[in-house]
Structure 1
Amino acid sequence: MNDQQLITTLRQHLDEGLADLPDRVQDRLAMARQKALQQRRESRRQGWLLGHGLLRPALATAILVAALGLTDSYLQGQNEISDMAAVDSDLLIDDLPPKAFSDPGFRAWLEESSEG
């Protein structure tokens, strides 16, 4: 007999004996069953991690720390890009010394840049 068959058999036996109980006991059992079902629905809605009171603040804190870390990393990357752009623009705006025009590497870079 597997678990589902055992559950079905037990439920049938309990349902058969229910008719023999006094009305007030039946009412209390029905209320207890409704309460248990409601608690089960709520725990399923909350999920296994959020269902525990202490884990909610810890999870919120972890998410906040992760968001702040990602934001900081993004802003640092943006600052580096801005710094590189400033250096590049300064180099492009500034006058080139005469030696630069005779530099073979500079000449190759100019030819490569004009092709692309």
Structure 2
Amino acid sequence: MNTKVPLSSVAENEFGQRVAARLSAGNQALPHDIGERLRVARAQAVAQRKQAPQLRAAPAVVQAGTTAALGGGGGWGWWTRIGTVVPLVALVAGLVTISVMQDEDRASELAEVDSALLTGDLPPAAYTDPGFAQFLKSDGASD
């Protein structure tokens, strides 16, 4: 039986062996009970790693025309594309609506202030007169 191990798997195994050797070298300075607990934990981790099957393969690189993308199997259907675009369109429409409503509210507030100034008993120039501001302060204090 001729089985070839991928190069990345060989590199992973070598890295794992180097890490294990480094950890084992550091064990000699630890007390015996701690070293034994670490050895048992390491053995359990290796056993779990060997038992765990690979759940899915890495996505393949798919090239379409001049662009490349990661594909995880199955293409993007029309419903998926529509489902990703609709929330974006709804968000933009909501933001535009909020902006328009705020502009209208500001304009109506300014119009109310302007109409109150123009239809009031005093001329608009009175509001800029420093004597009038002093009169309002003294009038408010006398009441």
Tell me if TM exceeds 0.5. no
Q: TM-score if structure 2 supplies the norm length?
A: 0.37
Structure 1 or 2: larger strand share? 2
Q: TM-score if structure 1 supplies the norm length?
A: 0.44
